[in-house]
Amino acid sequence: MIRPLSVLALSLALCGAAHGFDRAAVLAAADAPEAPKGGPREHYTKHEFRIPMRDGVRLFTTVYVPKDSSKSYPFLIERTPYSAGVREQGKLQYGVEFYPKSLGPSREFEQAGYIFVRQDVRGRYMSEGQWQEMTPHVNARRAPGEGNESQDMHDTVEWLLKHVPGNNGKAGIYGISYPGFYTSASIIDSHPAIKAASPQAPVTNLFMGDDAYHGGALMLAANFDFYSAFTSEQNPTAQPKNWESFDYGMADGYDYFLKHQNLSAILAQLQPKQRTYLEPSIEHSSYDEFWKSRDIAPHLKNVRAAVLTVGGWFDAEDLQGPFTTYQAIGRNNPGIFNGLVIGPWSHGGWAGGEGRNLGPVKFDGKTSEYFRQKIQFPFFEQHLKGVKPEQATANVNAFETGSNVWRQYSAWPPQQAKARTLYFGANGTLHWQQPAAGGGEYDEYVSDPKKPVPYIGYAATGVPREYMVSDQRFASSRPDVLVYQSEVLEEDVTLAGPVSPKLFVSTSGSDADWVVKLIDVYPQEYPAPAKEDGANAVKMAGYQQLVRGNPLRGKFRHSFEKPEAFTLGKVEALNFQLGDVNHTFRRGHRIMVQVQSSWFPLIDLNPQKFMDIPKAKPEDFQKATQRVYRAPATPSGIAVQVLAR
């Protein structure tokens, strides 16, 4: 049963994530546990303020203060571009008479008592000023109305401490996705009252593995779907009251985008205000100053708060952000608590629901409830109220998929993991040993942009959150997908850390995408779904579960700043990152790797011709023959970190 959207669910609904409007994640958040009896209206008094910043811009801020004034409370702050308003009567509402169904990250916070603060960031909804995509922390040419998130947070906290009675002098901040970015950016040179912060699925570097680009390829479906709803508005304004879903006019995004094919034609389907934020992302198709100035990681310094960074192994939008944020904070801020939690979740999936499964893949427990009750709540209680936790929070809490257990580590990647390589062999084999002479030097396929490989095996628009664990059997039977598979495993194999393809390739074109997918192949004999799963439950026998996948746009093989064309037939080495995993391939399963040159429309089409792809015309898209080499001198494979048990 789907309950009315909570404040957090509203945040997820209006962000869906920072740049991939994941409506299914909204439903998970909406299914959060019930709030305390009586709800916020009975226990909290709502205030609305316009807090002045140092440049005179005023930021609209809602504050919910406990009616019980017998004790003092810390502030718990969320800063968001998705509105500090309340969804009621089917639309967004501002005004002190409107209350959300619940407050804070989970019901435990509302029951314990906090002063909850939600703020429209500058330039969004009811706040004044000029909004910027991923506000640059350093901007020598800051225009009137543009700001700095660290300064805005400092000024906000200073004002709250002076003007909201009943506070205990301490503040915490949290947020998921774009609010996760604002959490990170707000604790740089942090105000001394900020004692705890939790950036969750934080957008960190849009070009380097977060929402906008992966491996130099545009994340087309997610960005188009998001920006068609996340539009530019003249602020202050309470508009839009509702986000309108884009009308694709057909059931399958694959058909829709293939019909329009090139990016200029795709952009033309949007209204001007829908293109305002999307167009610059498409135009800046290499790692230029536009993206570099928006990378928050190098600036995560002088953080005085305890930090708990959170992410999901199956986050389709911001999988890389938590790792980059965690590493940057640890590197730049010795002496503070710097924790990392990675669970088996889609984007924001830890915020609501039980976390028992993602699609047909089960996790054998209430993973989301465990996080909310045993990790997140005690973290804030300890650092904002001085409540000693039952057990100390580990530096790293990582859920191990496949075996479905929580693991605790002192650091990530685990220091005990050992580097090994899985090599491609003849006849589609996959081995821990380098290939011997004989058996051919390469495998090849023809990649046709007019018949690209889909990223899911069913019709959908947007990006379904379960695609990160979806069955890959639809792809393994295609002639334009190379498949390498291990023998049946005689014992469990646990990978913990980054997965890095090491390929030797050539192409008949002058550019090519190389998509690599790591897959867990279930046994052909596998237990049938339980009766409680329903008649339509997926049968997992032979299931090819995606564990991790990512592309590399070949022209960026040497540098994301300076693209280079391929030479016809020349063998070149590719080294790139798929991302991190913590997954056990169980005894009786197989390890599979698939290689292909399209992943549509998850990423945009490569014309397979060296050029600035946003300027490509229909006639520029051409077939190309791709080769992956596996000879002793050119041993393609994937480098992994293996954890002995």
In contact, 223 and 317? CB cutoff 8 Å = no
Tokens of 93: 């509402």
Q: What is the pLDDT of residue 531?
A: 77
For residue 501, say if its preceding peptide bond is cis, omega within 30 degrees of 0: no
Give the C-alpha separation, 70 to 88, whole Å: 31
CA distances for 149 relative to 54, 83, 182, 391, angstroms: 12, 16, 7, 34
196 vs 379: CA distance, rounded Å: 8
For 419, phi then psi, to 5°, come to -75, 130
Q: Chain-centre distance of CA 447, in angstroms?
A: 28
Nearest residue to 153 via CA among 126, 184, 178, 124: 184
Question: How does DSSP assign 83-98, residue by residue?
Answer: -SSEEETTEEE-STT-
Distance separating alpha carbons of residues 298 and 314, to the nearest angstrom: 25
Question: Rounded mean pLDDT of the chain?
Answer: 93
pLDDT tens digits for 113-160?
999 999 999 999 999 999 999 999 999 999 999 999 999 999 999 999
pLDDT at 2 over 60: no
pLDDT for res 37: 65
Rounded to whole angstroms, the Cα distance separating 305 from 315 reads 26
- Length reported for the chain: 645
What is the spatial distance between Cα 550 and Cα 552, in angstroms, rounded to a whole number? 7
Neighbours of 530 (CB within 10 A): 9
pLDDT higher than threshold 60 for residue 335: yes
- Whether 352 has a pLDDT exceeding 80, the answer reads yes
pLDDT value for 533 = 80
Q: How far is CA 304 from CA 263, 383, 466, 568, in A?
A: 44, 12, 37, 54
Structural Rg of the chain based on CA atoms? 24
**What secondary structure letter does DSSP report for 304?**
-
- Above 50 in pLDDT, residue 190? yes
Question: 126 with 236: CB under 8 angstroms?
Answer: yes
Q: Which of 10-19, 324-333, 445-454, 541-550 has the lowest mean pLDDT?
A: 10-19
Q: How far is CA 4 from the centre of its chain?
A: 25
| pLDDT given at position 244 | 85
By CB atoms closer than 10 A (0-12, 13-18, 19+), residue 25 is buried
Nearest C-alpha neighbor of 124 from the set 181, 83, 185, 175: 83
Percentage of the chain modeled with pLDDT above 90: 89
pLDDT digits (tens, 9 = 90+) for 487-536: 999 999 999 999 999 999 999 999 999 999 999 999 999 998 887 787 78
- Tokens describing residue 263: 């990016």
Please name the residue that has the structure tokens 């977060």: 210
User: Looking at residue 36, what is its pLDDT?
Assistant: 54
What is the pLDDT at residue 25?
Answer: 38
Q: Which residue type occupies 539?
A: K
pLDDT tens per residue across span 548-567: 999 999 999 999 999 999 99
391 exposed, middle or buried (CB, 10 Å; 0-12, 13-18, 19+)?
Answer: exposed
What percent of the chain lies above the pLDDT cut of 70? Answer: 94
The DSSP symbol for 515 reads E
- Phi, psi of 508, deg, nearest 5: -85, -5
Cis, bond preceding 240 (omega within 30 deg of 0)? yes
Retrieve residue 352's tokens. Answer: 């609501």
52-62 mean pLDDT: 98
In the numeric block, which tokens belong to residue 354?
């039980």
pLDDT at 576: 98
What was the pLDDT predicted at 461?
A: 96
